[in-house]
Amino acid sequence: MMVAGPPGPEIVEIAPKRAVTVGLDGPDMDACGGLGRIISGADEHLPILSGPDQSAMVSGSLERRAFVWLCEAEGEWQGVVYPTGEYQDISDCRVSSPVAEPRTYDGPCQSGWVRARNIELLAG
């Protein structure tokens, strides 16, 4: 005897989380090689993803015109570091000086991934 019931929930595969790496330009260059500004998004806030993939989890959002450090690129994705909170500024992120070797960004600011087309390069 076969028992029928409602279909099960649709399985959605989520891309794995991938941290942003700093120091990829070498030990004589800044940890993040560029500075940019968010220029577009569907709304006033652009989602920040936990990896360079559209199916990655949303880990935060940035307002249009927010400043970001450009640290790593993969295809159409840009790994960024950005300040959060009322008392944090772009200069507080500690990526404008060299690091000895590439490493995962570990603060004090936040990091994540956005499509590169949503960023205007300001310096770097």
Q: Where residue 2 falls among pLDDT bands split at 50, 70, 90?
A: low
Nearest CA among 119, 34, 116 for reference residue 74? 116
Q: Contact at 8 Å (CB) between 104 and 23?
A: no
Nearest CA among 122, 123, 124 for reference residue 65? 122
Lookup result for tokens 């652009």:
46
Q: What is the pLDDT of residues 58-96, one digit of tens each?
A: 999 998 889 999 999 999 999 999 998 778 888 999 999
User: pTM higher than 0.85 for the full model?
Assistant: no
Structural domains of the chain, with CATH: 21-123 (2.30.30.40)
Q: What is the pLDDT of residues 12-54, one digit of tens each?
A: 566 678 899 999 999 999 999 999 999 976 567 889 999 999 9
Facing residues of 120 across strands? 37
